[in-house]
Each structure stands twice: as C-alpha cells, then as structure tokens.
Amino acid sequence: LPLIRTALFSSICSNSRKQHMPIVQLSAISYKKFINFALDETKRHTHLAPSPLQERYNSRISMDGKSEIEMLSFEATKVRLLRSLCIENQTMQVLDFAVFPEPEFDMPIFCANFFSSANTNIVVLDLNPLHDVISQRDYKEKYYKGLIPLGLKYAELLPWGGKLTSESLKFFSPIVIWTRFTSSSYKYDVLYSAFMDYYKAWLELMDQAVVETNASKIMCNREAQHRYLTWRAEKDPGHGLLKKLIGETQAKDLLVNFLFNGIDELGSKSFLDYFPEYCCEDGTINQSRSIIGKSFESRPWDRKGEFISNSFEN
Ligand code: BLA
C-alpha cells in the first residue's frame, strides 16, 4: 500500500507512529479488492450467474454527490443470492458482503461487514449460523468444530471489539470476528487475510453441503433464513448511514429488496412475529436497536468454542 501522509489523516498518522505501525491513507485501501477475491474464488468452485437484481441495483451516487455506491449480485447452485455493497468516499469505506444459501441447505450465511472511517474500523466477519448454535449442539458441531483453530488464530490478531447489541450475538457463530481498530496497513492486511481464510472455509462448506430432501427441514431452514433477513433489514447498524447517503425511502428499498432480499419470498411472518419484545403499546415496532441493551464486554466463547456467558444481562 502506498504510504502517504496528509493533513486530513494526521490523526491516524500520529496514532500509527505511537504504535510504530506503517501509516495508511484511507483512500489507499479499498474493499473492492476483497470483493474481487471473493468472486474469483467462488468461480473456482461454482458457476456464478448474474442475479435478476443486478439490473436494478448496480451503481449510484449519494444525494450529496460525494459517495459512490456499488452493488453486485449473483446466483449459483446452492446459492440463492451472493451480493455485495461497497461505499466509498473521501472519508469512508464500507463493505457489506453476504452469501445466502438456498433453503435446501442448512449451511451458514457468509457475512462480512466492514466500516472504515479515517481513524476507526468496525468489523464483523463470520459464517453466521442458520440455526441456534447455543441450544443446537449438533448444528454447531456439524459446521464449526473443524473451524475452531481458524477462529482462534484470528481472535488473537483481531481481538473482541467490546460490548455490542446483545440481540446480535444470537446471529453470530463461535468463530465470529467482532473487532474495532485504529487504521493501519498492518491491520488491513490481517483483515484481508482473515476475509480470504473465512471465505475459503465457507466455500469448502458449500462444496460439501448435501441437499436436504425432508420438506419439514427445508421449511425450517427457510424460516431461519427469513428470520435472519427480517432482523437485519429492520435493525442492522448501517441503516442510519444509508439513510443519510440516499434518503429514507431509497435506503428502505435497498435493505428490503437488495441487501436482505428474500423477505417477501421466503416467509410471511413479520418482524414482530419473530421479535415480539420489540412491540410498542400502539402495536408499532420499537425503533430502538436493542431491548436488552449492550453486553458481552469480552468474547463469550471459550477456546473450545463453548458459549461461556449464560445470561444476556448487561
Ligand atoms: C456498528 N455494526 C456495528 C456494530 C455491529 C455491527 C455489531 C456495533 C454496534 C452494535 O453493537 O450494534 C455489525 N451487527 C453487525 C452485523 C450483524 C449484527 C454484521 O447483528 C449481523 C447479524 N455497517 C455496515 C454497513 C454500514 C455500517 C453497510 O455493515 C453503513 C452503511 C455502519 N456499523 C456501521 C456504523 C456503526 C456500526 C456507522 C457504528 C454505529 C453504531 O455503533 O451503531
């Protein structure tokens, strides 16, 4: 990465110097490299066909003309939707990359959400479990047992990011990478390496995934994915920023029809059917992101991938 020092990034520079780390200018990093890797790697395993969504969701400029928003979407055997959203401007880089399996497969959902501004980076990288890994031990063993060493490697390099919306934890796996860091080229390299390793691990799971033929199990997979999509379309932390960039109506459209596409097709339950604790007295959805509040100051999974926090209290 080019090492350029500018006044705009003086805060990163001084931080980096303190830590004896290389200096990185935000514009020198781009999450497009991550997307290109993922697409190339996917093509080594399967055939990617363009998604019908591509025509409507491709590229656009934010209302203030300052941000470029790029969207890509594909389908493949076993893959209902692979889609990415990349936002870039002078001060910010955002990646939302996800792969949603067909309901005939119970494999995890690949999830990479990275938000980077001049001095802070917020990262979630995970193979989000389709089913509950705290109560369904067989599901956890099936997909995550072999991945614990991978999780341990990156849990050290990219340490736990501190308290987070408690409700989110149910959507995370024992190998989740939830981290925050100050910008440095070293950290970006680590993040890129984690992204590559996690994505390759997900592709291996995809290769091995066996189609489910039991109708009730398929139904169960479909509902689990629908619940996940319903949660994220309503409560994802990126909403505020999307609304600021493209306005409330467009943001809502992007969330429901592109990023978390499937809400209308995979099920008919509402957000409040799945998450009744968010119901206000007048029947509307509580706009707060969390009912329980923030918790999990430290990683709630031990080195064996056992959940070690037995309550969801703050
Ligand atoms: C913050 N993003 C966060 C946080 C998490 C996530 C856990 C910390 C705040 C919190 O505790 O909620 C990410 N949470 C997730 C993910 C899941 C989840 C991936 O439950 C999946 C189940 N982030 C994006 C995009 C944008 C973005 C697309 O992925 C912007 C368009 C922004 N995320 C963003 C911002 C913050 C954030 C600005 C800080 C603001 C905040 O803490 O609410």
pLDDT of residue 119: 85
Check pLDDT > 80 for residue 279: yes
User: Nearest C-alpha to atom 4 of ligand 1 is from which residue?
Assistant: 237
pLDDT of residue 27: 61
Mean pLDDT check: name the lowest of 3-17, 34-48, 76-90, 194-208: 3-17
Task: Work out the mean pLDDT of the chain and round it to a whole number.
Answer: 91
CA–CA–CA angle 293, 295, 298 (5° rounding): 165
Ligand 1 atom 12, closest CA? 165
Residue 311 vs residue 160, higher pLDDT: 160
Residue 134 reports pLDDT greater than 60:
yes
Does residue 74 surpass a pLDDT of 80? yes
Which among 31, 100, 164, 248 is the best mutation to test ligand 1's pocket, defined by most ligand atoms within 8 Å of the CB?
164
Q: Among 92, 102, 83, 40, which Cα is nearest to 62's?
A: 92
Contacts of 21 (CB under 8 A, 6+ apart): 184, 185, 186, 187
Q: What percent of the chain has pLDDT over 70?
A: 89
Query: Is a pLDDT exceeding 70 seen at residue 18?
Result: no
pLDDT of residue 307: 94
Residue 28 near residue 187 (C-beta atoms within 8 A): no
Q: For ligand 1, what atom is nearest to the CA of residue 128?
A: 22
State the ipTM, two decimals. 0.97
Q: What is the C-alpha separation between 186 and 175, in angstroms, rounded?
A: 21
CB–CB of 221/130 below 8 Å? yes
The predicted pLDDT at position 39 comes to 98
Closest alpha carbon to 266 in 69, 74, 24, 103? 103
Mutate to test the pocket of ligand 1, among 69, 109, 124, 231 (most ligand atoms within 8 A of CB): 124
Confidence at residue 223, expressed as pLDDT on a 0 to 100 scale: 98
Cite the DSSP H helix spans in the chain. Answer: 10-18, 32-43, 137-144, 148-157, 185-208, 215-235, 239-246, 248-253, 263-266, 271-274
Over residues 229-246, mean pLDDT = 96
Provide the token pair at 295: 């918790």
Mean pLDDT confidence for 257-274:
98
Q: Which residues form the pocket of ligand 1, taking CB atoms under 6 Å from any ligand atom?
A: 87, 94, 96, 111, 113, 115, 122, 124, 128, 164-165, 168, 171, 232, 237-238, 241-242, 294
User: What's the average model confidence in pLDDT over 286-301?
Assistant: 93
